[in-house]
């Protein structure tokens, strides 16, 4: 009997493909996801290599050439202080992108921790955490972020903090729902029966199995957070001038929109493309990770 079994096992070696490669391959067939990924990757490179990409320093004023229309020297024109808009956009991508990524990372991480605890332990723990999230969510997102920014004051780190807190409830709810789905799977019981500790079970067995929906939604929310950050800067609560953040650039140029439209248009276009690229990529990622949509 055992011999039979061993023979069954000795089937020709199956080609092993890691899950990462499988997902990457499925993503690569989705052209809009590829476009999104390429654009997002270009933006990230632009941010990392800002000193090489930008033709001028971000704060270099040239008072002889203020409010210049796009030309060969200043491909996106200059602002009211003669600063090169393209250079400011390149430098500003560092702030916009890092706020987007970091706020999502922090918010999602905290949210996942709460959500996993709520889903795993259930009962009173669940009630307390979820009611706290209800309180956070009952305040409209923009209002919440504005309130926190007002209380903390403007600035890069405070903006980051405000946006992170705003992201906690989503991460928490999504994780909780996913954890509830795996909570009663037998492999968790099996893990208990082999003496895995509770933190280990949550970190090794529960969270990795409930990660996919959170990953997708956080990819998509990076775009939203960038818009929120731009909005905060626009109303003067976010990153402060002269930091070349995209939102504050639009804010600075809005009074001159009739005479010098390039001052608001180009940062706006960059925000739009960033958000679009991340959403396309997130959409593709969701399709690639969803086993029900496998062809």
Partner 1 sequence: MMMSKNDTFLSVRDLVVEYTAEGQVIHAVNGVSFDLERGKTFGLVGETGAGKTSTARAILRILPDPPAKIRGGEIILDGEDLLKISEKEMRKIRGRKVSMIFQDPMTALNPIMKVGEQISEVIKMHNDIPWREANERAVKMLERVGIPGDRSEEYPHQFSGGMKQRVVIAMALACSPELLLADEPTTALDVTIQAQVLEMINKLKKDFNTSMIMISHNLGVVAEVCDDLAVIYAGEIVELGSKEAVFDHPAHPYTLGLFGAVPSLAEEKDRLNPISGLPPDPSHLPEGCHFNPRCPYAQEQCLKEKIPLREIGPGHFCRCIRVTEKEGKYVILG
- Determine the interface stretch with partner 1 among 172-180, 191-199, 227-235, 244-252 (rule: CB under 8 A): 191-199
- Verify binding: residue 14, partner 1, rule CB under 8 A: yes
- Determine the interface stretch with partner 1 among 59-67, 69-77, 204-212, 272-280 (rule: CB under 8 A): 204-212
- Determine the interface stretch with partner 1 among 23-31, 129-137, 170-178, 205-213 (rule: CB under 8 A): 205-213
Q: Which of 168, 162, 135 is nearest to 147 (CA)?
A: 162
Q: What is the DSSP string of 74-125?
A: STT-B-TT--BHHHHHHHHHHHHHHHHHHHHHHHHHHHHHHHHHHHHH-HHH
- Verify binding: residue 15, partner 1, rule CB under 8 A: no
Q: Which of 46, 13, 228, 259 is nearest to 142 (CA)?
A: 228
- When the beta carbons of 193 and 259 are compared against partner 1, the nearer one is 193
The residue within the footprint of partner 1, chosen from 26, 83, 205, 286 (CB under 8 A), is 205
- Determine the interface stretch with partner 1 among 51-59, 64-72, 202-210, 242-250 (rule: CB under 8 A): 202-210
- When the beta carbons of 134 and 189 are compared against partner 1, the nearer one is 189
- Determine the interface stretch with partner 1 among 61-69, 147-155, 182-190, 216-224 (rule: CB under 8 A): 182-190
Classify burial at 213, counting beta carbons within 10 Å of its beta carbon; exposed 0-12, middle 13-18, buried 19 or more: middle
- When the beta carbons of 119 and 247 are compared against partner 1, the nearer one is 119
Q: Where are the alpha helices (DSSP H) in 139-259?
A: 141-152, 156-183, 186-193, 198-200, 207-209, 212-234, 246-253
Mapping DSSP to helix (H, G, I), strand (E, B) and coil, where does residue 25 land? helix
Q: Which of residues 93-152 bind partner 1 (CB under 8 A)?
A: 123
Residue 150, CA distances (Å) to 66, 147, 249 in order: 33, 5, 20
Exposure string for 42-55, b = 16+ CB within 10 A, e = fewer: ebbebbeebeebbe
- When the beta carbons of 4 and 52 are compared against partner 1, the nearer one is 4
- Verify binding: residue 185, partner 1, rule CB under 8 A: yes
- Verify binding: residue 193, partner 1, rule CB under 8 A: yes
- Determine the interface stretch with partner 1 among 84-92, 144-152, 201-209, 238-246 (rule: CB under 8 A): 201-209
- When the beta carbons of 9 and 51 are compared against partner 1, the nearer one is 9
The residue within the footprint of partner 1, chosen from 189, 242, 254, 269 (CB under 8 A), is 189
- When the beta carbons of 200 and 254 are compared against partner 1, the nearer one is 200
What number of other Cβ atoms are within 10 A of residue 193's Cβ?
A: 9
Q: Which residue has the tokens 């009173």?
A: 124
- Verify binding: residue 8, partner 1, rule CB under 8 A: yes
Q: Which of 54, 73, 52 is nearest to 64 (CA)?
A: 73
By rule CB under 8 A, what count of residues binds partner 1? 29
Residue 65, CA distances (Å) to 61, 241, 251, 282 in order: 9, 20, 21, 41
Q: How far is the CB of 187 from partner 1 (least distance, A)?
A: 5
Helix axes of 85-121 and 212-234: crossing angle, nearest 10 degrees: 140
Contacts with partner 1 by CB under 8 A lie at 1-2, 4-6, 8-10, 13-14, 16, 19, 123, 185-187, 189-197, 204-205, 208-209
């Amino acid at each position: 009997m055992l011999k039979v079994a061993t023979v069954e096992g000795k089937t020709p070696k199956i080609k092993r493909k890691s899950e990462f490669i499988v997902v990457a391959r499925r993503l690569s067939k989705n052209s809009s996801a590829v476009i999104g990924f390429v654009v997002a990757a270009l933006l990230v490179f632009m941010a990392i290599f800002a000193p090489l990409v930008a033709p001028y320093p971000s704060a270099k004023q040239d008072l002889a050439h203020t409010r210049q229309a796009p030309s060969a020297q200043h491909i996106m024109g200059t602002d009211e202080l003669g600063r090169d808009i393209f250079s400011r956009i390149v430098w500003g991508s560092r702030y916009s992108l890092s706020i987007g990524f970091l706020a999502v990372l922090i918010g999602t991480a905290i949210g996942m921790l709460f959500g996993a605890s709520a889903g795993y332990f259930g009962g009173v723990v669940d009630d307390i955490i979820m009611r706290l999230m209800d309180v956070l969510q009952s305040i409209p997102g923009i209002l919440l972020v504005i309130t926190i920014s007002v209380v903390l004051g403007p600035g890069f780190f405070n903006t980051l903090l405000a946006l992170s807190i705003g992201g906690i409830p989503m991460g928490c709810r999504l994780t909780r729902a996913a954890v509830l789905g795996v909570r009663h799977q037998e492999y968790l019981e099996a893990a208990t029966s082999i003496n895995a500790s509770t933190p280990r079970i949550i970190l090794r067995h529960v969270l990795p199995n409930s990660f996919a929906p959170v990953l997708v939604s956080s990819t998509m929310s990076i775009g939203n957070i960038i818009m929120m950050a731009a909005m905060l800067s626009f109303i003067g609560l976010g990153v402060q001038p002269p930091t070349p953040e995209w939102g504050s650039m639009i804010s600075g140029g809005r009074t001159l929109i009739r005479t010098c439209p390039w001052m608001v248009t180009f940062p706006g276009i960059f925000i739009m493309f960033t958000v679009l690229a991340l959403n396309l990529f997130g959409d593709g990622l969701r399709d690639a990770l969803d086993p029900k949509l496998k062809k």
